[in-house]
Amino acid sequence: MGSPLLVAATIPSTPDLGTAEGKCRSNESGPSFLVDVEGLKDRSGKLKLEIYPANDADFLEDDNVLISAGKTFRRVEQPVPASGAARLCVRVPSAGRYAVSVLHDRDGNRTFNWRVDGIGFAGNPGLGWRKPAASDASATARPGPTQIRIVMNYRRGLGMRPIR
């Protein structure tokens, strides 16, 4: 049997990986994150919420690699609401610690472009030009829904910062 990395190389990438597992049910009562997204630059595009294992090796790793290796990966996408609060819900496999990211995909191309898009993480770490440590971008899910707040960061000067 091939290594997980070789197997992952043969799996075609798809933006739907992890979405069925991540979709919250109506009145979700299981382990999940209810994410309030704050500091949006505008109301264009989509929000993409992703869940990763809370370690540096797996944090922001390719979804194909994680799923092929049997590791946690969940994704939820939705259009940015035209007005009001932006809230996303994502199910997790069990209570525990997970790294959490939100992408404001302003141009709708499903990839992060640091010149255009915004990004935020659980714990709201300062960003600069590097991704944060998984421990700084993680939250602990309880057995039921766990509410967290993520502040978006956009390119400003020599780094990524919240809009003030």
Asked if residue 13 is part of any domain, the answer here is: no
pTM score of the predicted model: 0.87
Distances, alpha carbon 4 to alpha carbons 11, 13, 58, 65, in Å: 11, 15, 13, 7
* Beta-bridge partner residues of 164: none
Q: Which residues contact 70 (CB under 8 A, 6 or more apart)?
A: none
**Within a domain: 4:** no
Instruction: Please indicate, yes or no, if residue 40 is contained in any of the structural domains.
Output: yes
Q: What is the pLDDT of residue 9?
A: 41
3 is a domain residue: no
77: Cβ–Cβ under 8 A, 6 or more apart, which residues?
15, 19, 46, 47, 48, 49
Number of domains present in the structure of the chain: 1
Is there a domain that residue 67 lies in? yes
Residues 6+ apart with CB under 8 A from 71: 53, 58
Query: Which tens digits make up the pLDDT trace of 6-27?
Result: 333 444 556 666 676 778 988 8
pLDDT value, residue 93: 96
pLDDT of residue 14: 62
Q: For the chain, which residues score pLDDT lower than 70?
A: 1-18, 20
Please tell me the predicted confidence (pLDDT) of residue 46: 95
User: Does residue 10 form part of some domain?
Assistant: no
Residue 140 lies in domain? 36-161
Q: For residue 30, is it within any domain?
A: no
Residue 53 lies in a domain: yes
87 token code pair? 């809230």
The predicted structure's pLDDT at residue 111: 84
3-state secondary structure of 63: helix
**Which amino acid, one-letter code, is at 102?**
V
Cα separation, 74 vs 161, whole angstroms:
25
CA nearest neighbour of 49 among 3, 108, 99, 85: 99
